[in-house]
Structure 1
Amino acid sequence: MWEKLLEPLSYGFMQNALVIGILIGILCPIVGTYLIVQRMSLLGDVMAHSVLPGLAIAFYLRVNILIGAFVSGIISAFLIAWIRTQTRVKVDAAMALIFSSFFALGVMLITLLRNKLDLDSFLFGDILGATVEDVWRTAIITAIVLALIKLFYRVLLYYTFDPLGAQAIGLPTGFIYLGLMSAITLTIIASMQTVGVVLVVAMLIGPGITAYLLVKQLHHMMLLGAGIGAISSIVGLYISYYSNTPSGPAIVLVSFSLFILALMFSPSQGILTRPEIGSRSNKTLQSLRAIIKNSLRI
């Protein structure tokens, strides 16, 4: 048993992958919690695909591709906010438009600029190819984002649950929105190498909604979601190591499996364990007994 657990740790690439996986497993659910509560979970997927034009341009100009990805993600967030506030277009339609347009622009730029950008790694991740530099970069991004969330937690909490009230009392809602979008973009950048942009939304949302089924308060949801995300990363990496399967999808499927367990057996919201299930079954039994008695009398 112990040999099975310790064997992957003897390889440097698995050590790097586990560290990055744990960091991303903690960071994604904490940031994604704000998207879940604001009912904007699709925004994570939009932002994940909107970084592609920035990646293509940065790769062509031979600058750090992470800078290009960050700028592209922030521009897409501004465009969504502008369309939502300046027109009658609903936010879901604006997100769908920006999502498809930016992704198409990125693919077009890669073709026109003749970039040799590894799209497979970008789309599906390559956590096993992570280097020590990647570990440090992910750790720095994680530390910065978590420190800012801790510092502005009360402001973000107020803005998340009552944006109109936050605006009414004079909070800079525009800057809060920009800060939240920056945190999401940085999280996506840190997660690209782990699970890729196609699956990053699953890590942003999956552990968070699993925690949502189990706890009620926002900070408890963040902490439990971070634990679920870290466990999903560790278990997924071990499964991929011993089954010779892709690591990113394995991590996401473990997270989804934990969600299904919570959906079935959550003490307060589980399909099989919620209190009203017992009362319904008792009513059903009483109805059956009444039917049997009436039939015997006849």
Structure 2
Amino acid sequence: MDNLIQWFSEPFQFEFMQRALWAGLAVGAVCAVLSCYLVLKGWSLMGDAISHAVLPGIVIAYALGIALPIGAFISGLTCALMSGYIKENCRVKEDTVMGIVYSGMFALGLILFTKIQTDQHLLHILFGNMLGIQDFEFIQTVTLSLIVFAIIVIFRKDFLLYCFDRSHARVVGLPVVLIHYSLLVLLSLTIVATIQAVGVIMVVAMLVAPGMTAFILTKQFAYMMWIALGVSLSAIILGILISFHIDGATSACIVLVQATFFMLALTFTKLKTRMTMLNEPSPATNTRTSH
């Protein structure tokens, strides 16, 4: 028992581990609640698109000497607006449009990345650097996460109705266009906050895995949000602990824990469905009982 307690407590004796934990919990919470809406709306690819599309904005911001999050936010929002405009003005499906736009912007970012002389900081944007997050980045990450989390919680019913049935939301008088672009802005802000910790490559898992895990476990949205929160925060804590003890990449460990939770939830759901089917009386048994 003492060894188990030490396994959990030892990493957080260090200040950089404590800072990584709080930053991870902040981004984990906002990604969890937002992922529920993305899964319900079918926007999982949108998170992937914007997370990759921020790269050219980050590189350009670095070259101009301005704050990287500003470039990331502008680039991500540009990707979202371009996708919406193209979808509204041609017959191409939304997932195809997003694939074209985000792959093009990510390719542009890679070209700029190789041409501009940079230090290791931009590599942290790609792969994350939760354990090495600086004071300014920590404050920025936590602040953005708390702002987005609060907005989502306050307007959760409006977002839910829009994601569930856009036509019904319009009928009851909700500003569906404003809600649509508000979700895109919140998604862009969340990605800007999250890439400081887990990086561009891993952020999509943070925005999909918690909601998907909760979605297969419950059909009630309120429970779905609580389950997603539990999954995301638990994965953050376990991922940080595992990365410390095995000396591995923190963001990768967090994503692997989330993937494990998803597989466990899927297995549990399958077993529960099978047990329910086995316990149900067969039609032939019902017929004999009625006679």
2:125 matched to 1:122? yes
Distance 1:278 1:77, change over 3 A: same
1:133 corresponds in structure 2 to: 136
TM-score, length basis structure 1: 0.88
Report how far residue 234 of structure 1 moved: 0.4
The match for 2:67 among 57, 64, 68 is 64
Aligned pairs for 1:67-216 (under 5 A) are 67-116=70-119, 118-216=121-219
Offset of residue 166 of structure 1:
2.4
RMSD over aligned CA atoms reads 2.0
Deviation at 1:23, TM superposition (A): 1.2
Question: Residue type matched to 2:238 in 1?
Answer: V
CA contact (8 A) 2:194 2:203 kept: yes
Name the TM-score, length of structure 2 as normaliser.
Answer: 0.90
**What residue is the counterpart of 2:221 in the other structure?**
218
Which secondary structure state, in structure 1, belongs to the residue aligned with residue 271 of structure 2? coil
Partner Cα distance (1:131, 1:102) in 2: 28
CA shift for structure 1 position 83: 1.0
Report the equivalent of 2:273: 274
SS in 2 for 1:216: coil
Alignment CA distance shift 1:95-1:280 (3 Å): farther
Preserved CA contact (<8 Å) 1:84 1:91 = yes
Can you give the 5+ residue segments of structure 1 that lack an aligned partner in the other structure? 287-298
115 and 3 in structure 1: CA distance in 2 versus 1, 3 angstrom threshold: closer
Match in the other structure for 1:8: 11
Aligned to 2:246: 243
SS at match of 2:212: helix
Structure 2 counterpart of 1:13, which letter?
Answer: F
CA distance in 1, matches of 2:12, 2:114: 40
The 5 Å alignment of 1:278-289 reads 278-279=277-278
Q: How many Å apart are 1:99 and its aligned residue? A: 1.2
- Say whether 1:53 aligns with 2:56: yes
User: In the alignment, residue 159 of structure 2 is paired with which amino acid?
Assistant: L
The 3-state SS of whatever aligns with 2:270 is coil
User: d(CA) in 2 for partners of 1:173 and 1:49?
Assistant: 26
Return 69-78 or 213-222, whichever deviates more: 213-222
- How far the C-alpha of 1:117 sits from its partner, in A, is 6.2
- Aligned residue-pair number: 280
Contact 2:30 2:149 survives alignment (8 Å): yes
CA drift of 1:277 comes to 5.8
Contact persistence 1:23–1:142 (CA under 8 A): yes
1:215-248, Cα deviation, whole Å (9 max, x unpaired)? 2222221121011101001001111111111111
| Letter in structure 1 aligned against 2:90 | T
Task: State the Cα distance separating 1:44 from its structure 2 match.
Answer: 0.7
Q: Work out which of the two has the higher radius of gyration on C-alpha atoms and give 1 or 2.
A: 1
* Distance in structure 2 (CA, Å) of the matches to 1:271 and 1:170: 40
CA deviation digits over 1:97-118, x for unaligned, max 9?
A: 0111010111222344444464
2: CA distance, partners of 1:84 / 1:189 = 24
* Alpha carbons 2:141, 2:196 under 8 Å: kept: no
Q: 1:173 to 1:117 in 2, by over 3 A?
A: farther
Is 1:55–1:69's contact at 8 Å kept on the other side of the alignment? yes
Looking at structure 2, the residues matched to 20 and 122 of structure 1 have their Cα atoms a distance apart, in angstroms, of 15
Counterpart code for 1:149:
I
Corresponding position: 1:35 with 2:38? yes
Aligned partners of 1:156 and 1:3: how far apart in 2? 43
